[in-house]
């Protein structure tokens, strides 16, 4: 498949007279896609029920007839001001119970039934009008669910929906009390109507209560999205996407993705570096203009799984953004590198956010492909270069990776409810392991925890899966791959309870976690084989072989046959030792890559990416700063 490029455009923000020239320049730059509409509700419906379609008809016609394919977004992330007159109680409430007010975006609670009806109404009207429009080639629902911390709301609407959700899940209040262990601290409830939201409690709420509320909040996103999908599908056959984000894990993206044809995500490598990656200050400095070498790739692989193979980058950073702690200009060549990295991981399309930098409002300081004065920004040359390269180079042919990591949003909820130590997170653990694998030159697939067929993988990792279904354990144990579990895999039952017999209870792996501890950053536990355990450690018992042990002889990693349990957060050195050894057992070839050099294998090629600002030669390949190379496999 030929990979394609696109951009995000806001015709409603610019004079009609310049649309045709913008469209012409998009085509000249080699762009195929233009995403529009997702923030345009006040222009579409300036006053209630007074629909103004003419401008959007004209915009779609102008863009489409110039040769572009339109991705049409539903405008539900930005309800207009009048919506609050209709539904004064539709706002989400923060943890302190305060409403999150009008004046920016995403000011709605996923549980508000009146607002849900408004969203279904506007999505239906749009789909009726444009569902058969030949230029509308795809849809986007809403914009970035969960952005600005909006998945969880402590509103009245959320409370009553949560009570209904609990009644459905537990059937009787007695069952809920038993499952949560509410007798502890006399927290028993007499009815579902007694159960409040888990905020503003004197000290921490029951973790079972918090986990249930997170699961409920996730389900609300899924059903909110489904309403729009149903509305669109009633009138259109075009594929529907949503644009997910980097390190937003508080709703189950696999569950949302199951209702959509395409997963897409918004990739801001420099924006993410300082506060989402969790990198040291030194690393943040080293990669300030390039972004973290593994963070984007992990999301590419994750969203390939969420999209069941079909995924895009819907928004690609093209220059400095406005919203990170610091907002540097990317190193020359990085926008090209980011684009090719997405293609190498299977992206069908990469769209740059945004077409022209806006001279007004919140994102004045956010770069676009054009400057505010409509002159091409410097990055335009890189975009044109990528376009020429797509034309000249062979297609990217995807293939199954040798290694898989199981990723489970529910595990992230459980870790968030009970991290057990400052800075411990499930996502952080997965990123750490992913990084360790990538440093060995490996290509990785991400799989949901519902996977039962692991055919073709040599190594499957199931770290941190707090709750593990029995049939997942048996599917992992009975396939031909090496499997690495832990830490915290199988550590909890369905309602956040410690199971007995004690975890992890993996068939044919005689390991029991008898005690756990979290560690200050200045305390580490050295291992006899080199490296350390940091931040989280489990005390292991059992007859399985000891693969890594502490200096004082305590087992840290244990193995029976092809199943290995990792009883702690291994540092980079210890993790590399374990991964190299396990890959060798699975006959998976590893290679040592210098820091900042990363590779990705497709069926026919090896892509090489230089995330550093220096020229680097390794394994016979010389890469310029921000360089990309392709070699035959």
Using CB under 6 A, list all residues that contact ligand GAL: 143-144, 147, 266, 268, 315, 321, 353, 363, 366
Q: How far is the CB of 71 from ligand GAL (least distance, A)?
A: 13
Residue of 136, 132, 4 lying closest to 74 (CA atoms): 136
Clarify whether 144 is annotated catalytic.
yes
Q: How far is the CB of 36 from ligand GAL (least distance, A)?
A: 12
Distances (CA, A) of 221 to 141, 256, 395, 505: 12, 8, 36, 33
CA–CA–CA angle 577, 581, 582 (5° rounding):
115
Nearer to ligand GAL, 66 or 245 (CB): 245
Q: How far is the CB of 301 from ligand GAL (least distance, A)?
A: 20
Residue of 489, 581, 482 lying closest to 529 (CA atoms): 581
d(CA 574, CA 432): 12
Q: How far is the CB of 587 from ligand GAL (least distance, A)?
A: 42
Nearer to ligand GAL, 266 or 301 (CB): 266
End-to-end CA distance of the chain: 19
H-run or E-run covering 601: strand 597-601
Nearer to ligand GAL, 288 or 324 (CB): 324
8 Å CB contact between 57 and 36: no
Would you mind telling me the total number of residues written for the chain in this entry?
633
User: Is the four-CA dihedral 85, 86, 89, 90 of positive or negative sign?
Assistant: negative
d(CA 563, CA 559): 6
Distances (CA, A) of 537 to 469, 488, 491, 526, 531: 23, 10, 13, 12, 14
* DSSP per-residue letters across 545-580: EEEEEBTTS-EEEEEETTEEEE-EEE-HHHHHHHHH
Helix locations, 259-378, DSSP H: 269-273, 281-286, 295-306, 334-344
Clarify whether 348 is annotated catalytic.
no
Nearer to ligand GAL, 147 or 332 (CB): 147
3-state class (DSSP) for residue 78: coil
d(CA 60, CA 320): 29
Q: Which residues are CB-neighbours of 463 under 8 A, at least 6 positions away?
A: 405, 429, 430, 433, 484, 485, 486, 487, 488, 489, 566
8 Å CB contact between 217 and 152: yes
Residue of 629, 622, 592, 626 lying closest to 610 (CA atoms): 626
Q: Which residues pair with 99 in a beta bridge?
A: 93
Q: How far is the CB of 143 from ligand GAL (least distance, A)?
A: 5
Of these residues, 144, 348, 382, 605, which one is catalytic? 144
Nearer to ligand GAL, 276 or 492 (CB): 276
Q: How far is the CB of 150 from ligand GAL (least distance, A)?
A: 12
Of these residues, 12, 45, 118, 315, which one is catalytic? 315
State the catalytic residues: 144, 315
């Amino acid at each position: 498949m030929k990979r394609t490029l696109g951009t995000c455009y806001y015709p409603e923000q610019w004079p009609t007279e310049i649309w045709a020239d913008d469209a012409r320049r998009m085509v000249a730059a080699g762009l195929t896609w233009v995403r529009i509409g997702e923030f345009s509700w006040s222009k579409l419906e300036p006053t209630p029920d007074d629909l103004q379609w003419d401008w959007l008809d004209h915009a779609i016609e102008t863009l489409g007839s110039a040769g572009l394919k339109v991705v049409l977004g539903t405008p539900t992330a930005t309800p207009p001001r009048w919506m609050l007159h209709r539904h004064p109680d539709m706002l989400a409430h923060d943890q302190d119970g305060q409403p999150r007010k009008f004046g920016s975006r995403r000011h709605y609670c996923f549980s508000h039934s009146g607002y849900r009806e408004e969203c279904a109404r506007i999505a239906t009207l749009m789909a009726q009008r444009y569902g058969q429009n030949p230029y509308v080639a795809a849809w986007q629902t809403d914009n970035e669910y969960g952005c600005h911390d909006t998945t969880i709301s402590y509103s009245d609407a959320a409370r009553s929906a949560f009570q209904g959700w609990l009644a459905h899940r537990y059937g009787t209040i007695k069952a809920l009390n038993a499952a949560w262990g509410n007798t502890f601290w006399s927290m028993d409830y007499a009815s579902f109507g007694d159960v409040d939201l888990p905020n503003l409690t004197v000290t921490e709420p029951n973790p079972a209560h918090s986990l249930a509320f997170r699961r409920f909040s996730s389900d609300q996103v899924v059903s909110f999205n489904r309403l729009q999908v149903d509305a669109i599908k009633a009138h259109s056959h075009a594929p529907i996407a949503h644009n997910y984000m980097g390190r937003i894990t508080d709703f189950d993206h696999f569950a949302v993705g199951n209702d959509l044809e395409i997963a897409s995500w918004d990739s801001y490598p420099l924006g993410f570096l300082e506060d989402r990656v969790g990198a040291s200050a030194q690393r943040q400095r080293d990669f300030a203009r390039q972004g973290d070498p593994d963070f984007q790739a992990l999301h590419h692989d994750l969203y390939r799984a969420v999209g069941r193979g079909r995924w895009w980058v819907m928004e690609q950073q093209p220059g400095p953004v406005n919203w990170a702690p610091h907002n540097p200009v990317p190193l020359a060549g990085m926008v090209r590198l980011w684009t090719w990295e997405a293609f190498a991981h299977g992206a069908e399309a990469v769209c740059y956010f945004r077409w022209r930098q806006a001279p007004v409002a919140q994102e004045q300081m956010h770069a676009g492909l054009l400057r505010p004065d409509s002159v091409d920004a410097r990055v335009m040359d890189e975009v044109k270069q990528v376009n020429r390269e797509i034309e000249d180079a062979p297609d990217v042919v995807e293939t199954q990776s040798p290694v898989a990591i199981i990723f489970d949003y529910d595990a992230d909820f459980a870790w968030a409810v009970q991290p057990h130590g400052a800075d411990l997170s499930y996502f952080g653990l997965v990123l750490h392991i992913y990084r360790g694998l990538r440093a060995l030159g490996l290509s990785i697939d991400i799989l949901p925890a519902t996977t039962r067929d692991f055919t073709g993988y040599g190594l499957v990792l199931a770290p941190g899966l707090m709750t593990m279904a029995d049939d997942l354990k048996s599917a992992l144990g009975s396939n031909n791959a090496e499997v690495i579990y832990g830490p915290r895999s199988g550590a909890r039952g369905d309602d956040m309870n410690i199971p007995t017999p004690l975890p992890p209870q993996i068939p044919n792996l005689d390991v029991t976690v008898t005690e756990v501890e979290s560690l200050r950053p200045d305390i580490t536990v050295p291992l006899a084989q080199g490296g350390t355990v940091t931040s989280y450690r489990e005390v292991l018992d059992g007859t399985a072989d000891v693969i890594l042990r502490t200096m004082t002889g305590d087992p840290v990693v244990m193995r029976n046959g092809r199943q290995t349990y990792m009883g702690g957060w291994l540092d980079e050195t210890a993790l590399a030792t374990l991964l190299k050894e396990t890959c060798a057992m699975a006959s998976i070839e590893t290679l040592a890559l210098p820091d900042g050099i990363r590779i990705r294998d497709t069926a026919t090629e090896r892509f090489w990416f230089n995330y550093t600002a220096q020229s680097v030669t390794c394994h016979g390949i010389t890469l310029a700063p921000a360089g990309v190379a392709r070699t035959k496999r």
